């Protein structure tokens, strides 16, 4: 009896295991009603048979199914031309977004210029993107970006520059952006300018400081003013000379002889010569670096090419202005000739005897003519006028 019971138990377990394996192999469902996400049964599912649209869109079509250059495969499986405004011939399957935009363009369809470039547009797409003319396209371009507004180019200047076309230095900087090779450098007033300003105040072209404070003077407020002594640049401790109103050395404060005349208006005094030479050396180094950047190999060739293109552009504009001037001159000469002709006709009218009303009509006809001859209106015989 026990033997039969054991065999029945084994048979029942064998039947149950067979049912479980049959359900798993058929793939129609799970043998148990609870979620087994991530189990081995789900993991063996063929990715090509999944219903997830994201997986289907992410697959690249086989090489035999891919579209020709300049086309992309849509979600429906058709080949559609890339819309890159003529600035690329590559785009992504599915989305149609353009790749490798050329001619300094960017965007999903290469429809706009890169930052720092601007171009004329045809139906919203740039035809030719060139560096922003801020103030010059190639030689001196100091803009982060630019755009057109009301037919004029508006520049978004870099930090050091200002003006509608970045043609001048911003407050706190000096230089001449319109001069080839020149840049805007920060004002250096040795920290002795007005502390209420957010920038040091200097001449926008030369860089000479204005309104030196803390009893200082000099091109960069780098030394103590006459009647004071100390260190104007580092310690900033210019103090009044203690010489009973007499002169003193501007550095040590040592009193000078009574007969000594302090050259208050001279910037090349012996005791200031060291500072002046140091400042001159700094200026020479700046000029040297600028010249080296211009005169080095390919950079020099590029600068010369840009200068030639700028000269050609200026000559073209000058020629256009000369043509406009010649046209205006011809128009003025024609107007003068017409006026002379009218005056001559008026003088002839004075010599004629005519009915006032008819003369008025005749004058109006003369004033309204341009290059045509107007016949004199018929004048009734004098005898008839008298009889009337």
Q: What is the pLDDT of residues 34-74, one digit of tens each?
A: 333 333 333 333 333 333 333 334 455 555 577 888 999 99
> Mind listing the pLDDT tens digit for each residue in 66-108?
788 899 999 888 999 999 988 899 999 989 999 999 988 999 9
What's the chain's average pLDDT? 73
Angle, alpha carbons 322-326-329 (nearest 5°): 135
C-alpha to C-alpha distances, 281 to 90, 274, 284, 285, nearest whole angstrom = 55, 11, 5, 6
Query: Rounded CA gap, 171 and 186, in Å?
Result: 9
Is CATH 3.30.70.20 what the domain over 63-131 is classified as, yes or no?
no
> Mind listing the pLDDT tens digit for each residue in 325-337?
777 888 888 888 8
Which CATH number fits the domain 189-281, given the four candidates 2.170.150.20, 2.10.25.10, 2.40.160.40, 3.20.20.70? 2.10.25.10
Predicted confidence at residue 256, as pLDDT, reads: 86
> Mind listing the pLDDT tens digit for each residue in 147-169?
888 878 889 999 999 999 999 99
Least confident of 34-43, 130-139, 367-376: 34-43
**pLDDT tops 60 at residue 365:** yes
C-alpha to C-alpha distances, 92 to 37, 52, 194, 377, nearest whole angstrom = 33, 20, 59, 81
Q: Taking Cα atoms as reference points, which of 205, 264, 213, 210 lies closest to residue 238?
A: 213
pTM: 0.45
Predicted confidence at residue 28, as pLDDT, reads: 43
Query: Rounded CA gap, 283 and 173, in Å?
Result: 15
Query: Rounded CA gap, 120 and 113, in Å?
Result: 10
**pLDDT tops 90 at residue 264:** no
Pick the residue with more confidence: 337 or 124?
337
**pLDDT tops 70 at residue 196:** yes
Query: Rounded CA gap, 305 and 137, in Å?
Result: 12
Residue matched to tokens 């230089």: 175
What CATH number belongs to 132-186? 2.10.25
168's tokens? 């001048």
Q: Taking Cα atoms as reference points, which of 104, 114, 159, 162 lies closest to residue 135?
A: 162
Predicted confidence at residue 359, as pLDDT, reads: 57
Residue matched to tokens 């039947």: 15
**pLDDT tops 60 at residue 356:** no
Predicted confidence at residue 61, as pLDDT, reads: 52
Pick the residue with more confidence: 13 or 256?
256
3-state helix, strand, coil in the chain (%, to 5): 35, 15, 50
C-alpha to C-alpha distances, 142 to 84, 182, 291, nearest whole angstrom = 29, 11, 19
Question: What is the pLDDT confidence band of residue 324, given thresholds at 50, 70 and 90?
Answer: confident
- pLDDT > 70: what percent of the chain? 59
Residue 174 phi/psi, 5° resolution? -140, 155
**pLDDT tops 90 at residue 173:** yes
Predicted confidence at residue 344, as pLDDT, reads: 82
Query: Rounded CA gap, 284 and 135, in Å?
Result: 26
- Domains 132-186 and 189-281 fall in the same CATH topology: yes
354's tokens? 């005519």
The pLDDT of 373-384, averaged and rounded, is: 47
Instruction: Give domain limits for the chain.
Output: 63-131, 132-186, 189-281, 332-381
218 within 8 A of 208, measured Cβ to Cβ: no
Predicted confidence at residue 184, as pLDDT, reads: 95
Buried b (16+ CB within 10 A) or exposed e, 171-195: ebbbbbbeeeeebbebbbbbebbee
**pLDDT tops 80 at residue 240:** yes
Pick the residue with more confidence: 324 or 277?
324
Question: What is the pLDDT confidence band of residue 189, given thresholds at 50, 70 and 90?
Answer: very high
Considering only CA atoms, give the Rg of the chain. Answer: 45
């Amino acid at each position: 009896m026990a033997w039969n019971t054991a065999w029945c138990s084994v048979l029942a377990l064998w039947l149950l295991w067979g049912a479980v394996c049959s359900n798993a192999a058929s793939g129609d469902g799970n043998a148990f009603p609870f979620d087994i996400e991530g189990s081995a049964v789900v993991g063996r599912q063929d990715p090509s048979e999944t219903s997830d649209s994201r997986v289907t869109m992410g697959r690249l079509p086989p090489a035999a199914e891919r579209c020709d250059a300049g086309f992309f495969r849509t979600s429906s499986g058709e080949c559609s031309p890339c819309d890159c405004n003529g600035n690329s011939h590559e785009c992504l399957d599915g989305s149609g977004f353009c790749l490798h935009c050329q001619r300094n363009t960017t965007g999903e369809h290469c429809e706009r210029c890169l930052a720092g470039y601007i171009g004329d547009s045809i139906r919203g797409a740039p035809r030719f993107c060139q560096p922003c003319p801020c103030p010059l396209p190639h030689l001196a371009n100091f803009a982060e970006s630019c755009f057109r507004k009301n037919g004029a180019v508006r520049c978004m200047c870099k930090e050091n520059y200002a003006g509608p076309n970045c043609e001048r230095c911003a407050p706190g900087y000096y230089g001449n952006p319109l001069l080839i090779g020149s840049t805007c450098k920060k004002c250096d007033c040795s920290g002795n300018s007005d502390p209420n300003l957010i920038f040091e105040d200097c001449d926008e072209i030369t860089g000479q400081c204005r309104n030196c404070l803390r009893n200082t003077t000099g091109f960069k407020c780098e030394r103590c003013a006459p009647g004071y002594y100390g260190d104007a640049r580092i310690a900033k401790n210019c103090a009044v000379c203690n010489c009973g109103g007499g002169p003193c050395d501007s550095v040590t404060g040592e009193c000078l002889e009574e007969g000594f005349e302090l050259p208050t208006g001279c910037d090349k005094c012996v005791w200031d010569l060291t500072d002046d030479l140091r400042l001159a050396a700094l200026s020479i180094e700046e000029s040297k670096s600028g010249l080296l950047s211009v005169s080095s190999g390919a950079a020099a060739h590029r600068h010369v090419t840009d200068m030639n293109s700028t000269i050609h552009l200026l000559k073209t504009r000058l020629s256009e202005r000369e043509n406009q001037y010649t046209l205006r001159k011809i128009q003025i000469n024609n107007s003068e000739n017409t006026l002379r002709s009218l005056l001559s006709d008026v003088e002839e009218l004075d010599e004629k005897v005519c009915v006032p009303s008819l003369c008025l009509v005749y004058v109006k006809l003369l004033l309204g003519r341009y290059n045509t001859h107007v016949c004199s209106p018929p004048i009734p015989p004098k005898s008839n006028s008298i009889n009337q």
